[in-house]
Amino acid sequence: MFDEIIEQKYQPKPSICFVVDKPVKREIFAADFCDRIVHHFIFNYISPIFEKIFINDSFSCRIGKGTHYGIHRIDHFIRSCTGNYSQDGYILKLDIKGYFMAMNRRLLFDKVKSVLLANILKIDFDLPFILYLLEKTIFNDPTGNCIIKGKNSDWADLPETKSLFHAKSNCGLPIGNLTSQLFGNIYLT
């Protein structure tokens, strides 16, 4: 695999696709072990760059941004807007419907590339290499050659907005990949 990557002949391997229903029903694409190594390499390279531009209250897959920190932040905001619980306050909880399945891969790649180019001040030997791996990862459509584990009925009541098999062309990222979590934060930044 090392030689494939260095010679820029790397192609992601088939993912294993299955459905889980805890805590909510969702479709998971588990990348091949070799691809997960690539995902960690990408994450470790670009995450520090994007950490500098993320807002403080973006929590997904970020070091030091776990449940306890989130509880501390919501308590801070509730106390701030209610005068320390002396007046009413309102909370809006929302979800972006089919967020991971609706992300446009071209927009995502262009955004990642432009931020990297703007934030790497010296000529970095690794940058073309990272951009190559980013392109292979972002534009990989795991539905084309995945190994399905489970029964067709597992997908029966899964909304189409929660499945890569129903995503628009050039849209959607697989739930289950480390890079997808990071890319989800980047896409909304």
pLDDT digits (tens, 9 = 90+) for 52-111: 999 888 877 888 888 899 899 999 999 999 999 999 999 888 888 899 999 999 999 999
pLDDT digits (tens, 9 = 90+) for 126-166: 788 899 999 999 999 999 989 999 998 999 999 999 999 99
CB atoms within 10 A of CB 170: 12
Alpha-carbon span 51 to 181, nearest angstrom? 13
| Domain ranges across the chain | 2-56+97-188
User: CB under 8 Å, gap of 24 or more: what pairs does 29-35 form?
Assistant: 29/142, 29/146, 29/164, 29/174, 29/175, 29/176, 29/177, 30/176, 31/142, 31/174, 31/176, 31/177, 34/1, 35/137
pTM assigned to the model: 0.87
